[in-house]
């Protein structure tokens, strides 16, 4: 019935708006006439819309909160008209059943019959805790609220498909986020986390304390804090101001709206500061007190006379004088912007429900923060992108905004730079006339959609944009309009500076055009961060400033010169030896730390930094380039061991007794010998040098997994739309439908393993450890991660490789056993990306496509299996059955010729052989999806069957996974935990496995052999891209063979 009423109430209204829009488009009236017609519509429908929203409650209240000031100027104050969701008896029944009480008095005394607040899905009652007497606010969720919300969102989305299709994508993300609001226990945890994160603002804000033991999914108990709501304070201020002007509040509101219609929304506030306003407010308070002194005296005199004379003329007090004292809007907006900017840009966890009904004006001047149901989490990568976006919008950098939109996954028909920029400005920053052209926001969005329809709106955009919209709405209501990005950009600079100082930066130089602001800021930073554990400098000015205009290149040069002269230059090696240079710098800093800590024991610590010396590490270089190196240094010789020995004698003897924490260079001048002489080499030597020092990059390819619960649907949508993985009818649409249907179930599974997939974390650790192991063998490579269905995508990784100047790339599949659905899909995607981003083949590619029987992989598995069997009781170890489990595959893929089952079997056979055939084993298959037949037996069926056959001890071995993720952590550890005795850990960061990764990369670079299997397509393959990709990489491999031959010839 609610859906029917939605169409009945709103369809005529929207149709009327569309009709006026269509009419104006054809008749082209004057701007004044057009606005007059729009205003008549607003006047006609605003109250009706408001009444329907308030009557509907639920999700419709949320729509009103977001769009109120943009669409119909819905008055937040009227939300007080919300009827109670439940009677007091029903509320008490929810508390008793949800908290498992026998009666409510067991926990709560003085429970208020009338709620002190009423919201979209529940209401709040005041009570006193029986045990300790604390006054608390108890938030109770109405029965059935969640189902009502889901149905409302579904109805609104269908409505939008007809009348506002550009909004559907946005509602998808809002739906995902709002569904988290129905668990009050999560809200209590969010409240405590945000309270901790905003500890530094405790003198300006107050977040109530939660009582976790008295919280459940439907009940939230928190500290009661006093004070009027910000929305009430705003309305009261508006009414007083209107009275001063001789108008009603409604007339004032209408006047402001007409002004906005005529002139557009006002530019960001540039009036008095919060300090100036506060001084003005205190002067008004003082003025009132002074003026009221004689009035108080007269009133006291009159009351005395009336008491003794009884004359009625004295029975009336003279009204006290009261000035119009405005809210300190500058302070309120500063606090709200800084705290929400901190949540978004620093913590990555923020409250997206910051409408003025959720803030209290406390008596001590602080602002109370309420309602933490709409907490959104963004990962570090998205947080960094958001910081970049804020800066780009503040600087009006359209190119950068477009680049960020691409990184976030935003997708539109033409990827129009101007449309992307203008949408981002309206979503995150402001609605200035310069960007909307004076159009109503809804009309503006429709125009942008017509120019360049968007197909996918990034999750990163929606909830932060909602936060920005709500904050700007409060700013307009306070007559304090803001540019959110300008405010947050300043916050970013402050956060970076404070972070550097807190993390032991010896000096930080800040630069800006505003010298007064710089001076004030540097003083604040020095007062706040005047201690460094690393450098032990107390009270020194570690934050310095320099006035310059960073938008001018010439002034940047001046800044660099200033810093160089004042603090000295930085020595940078000419070779791009990142890891080597970083390790040198680490040793230098460790020397200083040790010197500081050991000085009290009369121990000196110094480091020697040698130049070119006779040593094992330098042997190969000296063998080839000794003459060139000698020619390049003034002393015309290579360093000898005695030179180092003499330096050591100096530091350890009396001459160095007062030297500690120093880095002593032992070299002939500051010479960077290797590249200086490359210009004089013969042609052959030049070619050899170029070949040997080509920048190398290893790209780890994997499926990936969602980094948060909010990203599950996007992950599933990409997975089901991958035509390399599966073929579906009308796949573009059916994939989204399937993903949406499966999302609640899969989200629940991820919630049980920590709320995200750990694949990225494990892969990052694996790349770092492999890189470190390679460096120990003298090979420095860059490492990258390219996921198929979640960021960082393969496309992002390739773009970064090109920016880093990588010349040799290794596409390293993290699936030991090849399958068209895994490695094949990743390589096809890499081929598509390279064809788009690297058509000139700046990077030459080698492919590690499979490694099912690599000796170190087998040893790693065998070691883990042995360790797990040893954990069994001794009497049943010999009886253990090893059950190798791998992700299953549809039978039709096997019939097509996919080599995956055979390669899994090869891995299992090799492991059993390594174990000395000590235990019986079988191969089983897991993670079947959909109704089609898949490889069997399925893992759960096999476990049950073995138990029935008397095999009581089973050890599960996930043989096709290189790291733990949902298939191991949920499916094996949770679903099958009662069926298997032990589960062998995934490879993760097992040292033998890291050695395996290192050996694979090293062998491909040192002794490259073309992969025999890669170029062979499945016998019944019908995927044209697969053949193209294989041919593409085959061409690269042929070129590498010729390249290697040329290298050997030159040598």
Catalytically annotated residues: 854, 999
How far is the C-alpha of 124 from the C-alpha of 117, rounded, in Å? 5
Judge contact between 483 and 392, C-beta under 8 A.
Answer: no
Enter the tokens of residue 895: 């019939």
Nearest Cα to 355, choosing from 591, 68, 581? 68
Parallel, antiparallel, or unpaired for β 367-369 and 205-206? parallel
Judge contact between 786 and 797, C-beta under 8 A.
Answer: yes
Judge contact between 908 and 958, C-beta under 8 A.
Answer: no
Judge contact between 107 and 132, C-beta under 8 A.
Answer: no
3-state secondary structure 24-70: HHHHCCCHHHHHHHHHHHHHHHHHHHHHHHHHHCHHHHHHHHHHCCC
- Element spanning 258, H or E: helix 249-263
Judge contact between 763 and 790, C-beta under 8 A.
Answer: no
Residues facing 277 on adjacent strands = none
Kindly tell me the burial class for residue 497, based on how many C-beta atoms sit within 10 Å of its own C-beta (0-12, 13-18, 19 or more): buried
Query: How distant, in Å, are the alpha carbons of 489, 492, 510, 514, 941 from that of 543?
Result: 19, 16, 7, 16, 66
Enter the tokens of residue 998: 């290192």
Judge contact between 613 and 643, C-beta under 8 A.
Answer: yes
Local structure of residue 786 (DSSP, 8 states)? E
3-state secondary structure of 439: coil
How far is the C-alpha of 462 from the C-alpha of 468, rounded, in Å? 10
Query: How distant, in Å, are the alpha carbons of 705, 830, 1008, 1018, 1024 from that of 1030?
Result: 26, 11, 17, 12, 10
Enter the tokens of residue 680: 């004089």
How far is the C-alpha of 498 from the C-alpha of 500, rounded, in Å? 5
Judge contact between 167 and 145, C-beta under 8 A.
Answer: no
Local structure of residue 753 (DSSP, 8 states)? T
Rg of the chain taking only CA atoms, in angstroms? 35
Kindly tell me the burial class for residue 332, based on how many C-beta atoms sit within 10 Å of its own C-beta (0-12, 13-18, 19 or more): buried
- Tokens 């030179």 label which residue? 643
Query: How distant, in Å, are the alpha carbons of 326, 457, 760 from that of 465?
Result: 29, 12, 27
Nearest Cα to 402, choosing from 410, 988, 915, 779? 410
How far is the C-alpha of 816 from the C-alpha of 853, rounded, in Å? 8
How far is the C-alpha of 714 from the C-alpha of 740, rounded, in Å? 9
């Amino acid at each position: 019935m609610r859906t029917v009423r939605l169409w009945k109430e709103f369809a005529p209204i929207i149709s009327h708006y569309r009709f006026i829009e269509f009419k104006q488009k054809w008749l082209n009236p004057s701007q004044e006439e057009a606005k007059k017609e729009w205003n008549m519509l607003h006047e006609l429908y605003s109250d009706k819309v408001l009444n329907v929203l308030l009557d509907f409650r639920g999700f419709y209240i949320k729509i009103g909160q977001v769009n109120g000031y943009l669409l119909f100027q819905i008055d937040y104050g009227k939300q007080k008209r919300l009827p109670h969701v439940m009677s007091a008896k029903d509320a008490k029944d929810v508390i008793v059943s949800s908290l498992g009480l026998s009666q409510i008095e067991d926990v709560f005394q003085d429970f208020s019959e009338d709620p002190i607040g009423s919201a979209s899905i529940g209401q709040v009652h005041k009570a006193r805790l029986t045990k300790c007497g604390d006054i608390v606010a108890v938030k109770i969720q109405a029965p059935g609220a969640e189902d009502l919300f889901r149905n409302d969102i579904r109805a609104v989305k269908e409505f939008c498909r007809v009348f506002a299709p550009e909004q559907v994508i946005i509602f998808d993300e809002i739906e995902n986020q709002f569904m988290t609001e129905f668990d009050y226990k999560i809200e209590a945890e969010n409240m405590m986390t945000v309270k901790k994160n905003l500890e530094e603002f405790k003198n300006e804000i107050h977040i109530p304390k939660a009582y976790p033991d008295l919280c459940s999914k439907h009940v939230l108990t928190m500290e009661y804090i006093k004070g009027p709501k910000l929305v009430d304070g705003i309305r009261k201020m508006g009414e007083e101001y209107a009275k001063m002007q001789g108008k009603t509040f409604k007339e004032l509101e209408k006047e402001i709206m007409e002004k906005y219609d005529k002139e557009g929304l006002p530019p960001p506030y540039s009036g008095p500061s919060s300090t100036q306003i506060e001084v003005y407010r205190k002067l008004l308070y003082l003025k009132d007190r002074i003026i009221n002194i004689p009035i108080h005296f007269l009133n006291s005199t009159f009351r005395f006379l009336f008491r003794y004379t009884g004359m009625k003329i004295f029975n009336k007090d003279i009204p006290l004088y009261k000035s119009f004292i405005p809210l300190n809007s500058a302070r309120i907006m500063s606090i709200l912007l800084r705290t929400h900017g901190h949540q978004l840009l620093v913590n990555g966890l923020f409250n997206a429900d910051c409408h003025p009904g959720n803030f209290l004006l406390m008596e001590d001047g602080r602002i109370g923060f309420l309602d933490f149901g709409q907490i959104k989490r963004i990962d570090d990568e998205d947080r960094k992108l958001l910081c970049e976006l804020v800066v780009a919008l503040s600087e009006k950098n359209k190119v950068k905004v477009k680049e960020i939109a691409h990184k976030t996954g935003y997708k539109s028909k033409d990827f129009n730079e101007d449309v992307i920029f203008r949408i981002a400005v309206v979503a995150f920053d402001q609605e200035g006339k310069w960007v909307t052209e004076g159009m109503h926001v809804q009309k503006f969005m429709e125009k942008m959609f017509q120019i360049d329809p968007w197909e996918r709106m990034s999750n990163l955009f929606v909830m932060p944009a909602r936060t920005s919209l709500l904050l700007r709405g409060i700013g307009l209501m306070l007559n304090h309009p803001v540019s959110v990005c300008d405010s947050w950009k300043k916050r970013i600079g402050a956060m970076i500076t404070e972070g550097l100082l807190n993390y032991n930066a010896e000096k930080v130089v800040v630069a800006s055009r505003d010298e007064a602001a710089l001076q004030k800021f540097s003083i604040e930073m020095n007062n706040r961060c005047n201690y460094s554990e690393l450098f032990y400098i107390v009270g020194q000015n570690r934050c310095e400033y320099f006035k310059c205009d960073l938008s001018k290149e010439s002034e940047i040069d001046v800044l660099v010169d200033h810093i160089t002269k004042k603090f000295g230059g930085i020595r940078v090696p000419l070779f791009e030896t990142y890891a080597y240079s970083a390790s040198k710098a680490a040793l230098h800093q460790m020397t200083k730390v040790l010197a500081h800590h050991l000085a009290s024991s009369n121990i000196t610590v110094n480091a020697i930094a040698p130049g070119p010396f006779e040593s094992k590490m330098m042997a190969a270089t000296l063998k080839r380039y000794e003459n060139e190196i000698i020619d390049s240094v003034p002393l015309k010789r290579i360093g000898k061991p005695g030179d180092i020995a003499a330096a050591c004698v100096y530091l350890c003897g009396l001459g160095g007794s007062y030297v500690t924490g120093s880095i002593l260079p032992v070299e002939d001048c500051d010479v960077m010998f290797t590249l200086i002489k490359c210009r004089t080499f013969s042609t052959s030597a030049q070619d050899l040098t170029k070949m040997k020092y080509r920048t190398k990059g290893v790209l780890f390819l994997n499926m990936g997994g969602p980094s948060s619960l909010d990203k599950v649907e996007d992950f599933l949508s990409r997975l089901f739309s991958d035509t390399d993985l599966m073929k579906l009818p009308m796949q573009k649409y059916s994939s989204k439908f399937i993903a949406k249907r499966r999302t609640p179930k899969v989200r629940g599974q991820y919630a049980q393993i920590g709320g995200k997939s750990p694949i990225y974390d494990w892969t990052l650790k694996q790349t770092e450890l492999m890189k470190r192991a390679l460096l120990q063998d003298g090979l420095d490579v860059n490492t990258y991660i390219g996921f198929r269905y979640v960021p960082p995508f393969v496309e992002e990784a390739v773009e970064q490789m090109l920016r880093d100047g990588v010349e040799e790339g290794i596409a390293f599949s993290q699936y030991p056993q090849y399958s068209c659905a895994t490695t094949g899909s990743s390589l096809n995607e890499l081929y598509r990306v390279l064809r788009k981003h690297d058509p000139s083949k700046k990077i030459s590619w080698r492919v590690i496509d499979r490694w099912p029987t690599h000796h170190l992989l087998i040893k790693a598995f065998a070691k883990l299996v042995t360790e797990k069997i040893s954990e069994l009781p001794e009497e049943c170890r010999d009886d253990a059955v090893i059950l190798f489990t791998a992700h299953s595959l549809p039978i039709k893929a096997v019939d097509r010729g996919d080599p995956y089952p055979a390669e899994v079997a090869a891995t299992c056979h090799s492991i059993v052989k390594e174990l000395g055939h000590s235990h019986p084993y079988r191969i089983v298959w897991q993670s079947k999806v959909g109704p089609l037949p898949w490889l069997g037996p399925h893992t759960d069926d096999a476990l049950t069957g073995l138990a029935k056959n008397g095999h009581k001890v089973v050890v599960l071995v996930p043989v096709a996974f290189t790291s733990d993720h949902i298939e191991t952590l949920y499916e094996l550890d949770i679903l099958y935990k009662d069926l298997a005795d032990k589960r062998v850990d995934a490879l993760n960061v097992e040292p033998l496995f890291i050695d395996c990764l290192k050996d694979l990369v090293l062998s491909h670079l040192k002794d490259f052999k073309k992969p025999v299997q890669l170029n062979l397509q499945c016998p019944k393959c019908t995927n044209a891209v697969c053949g193209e990709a294989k041919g593409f990489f085959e061409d690269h491999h042929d070129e590498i063979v010729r390249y290697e031959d040329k290298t050997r010839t030159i040598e």
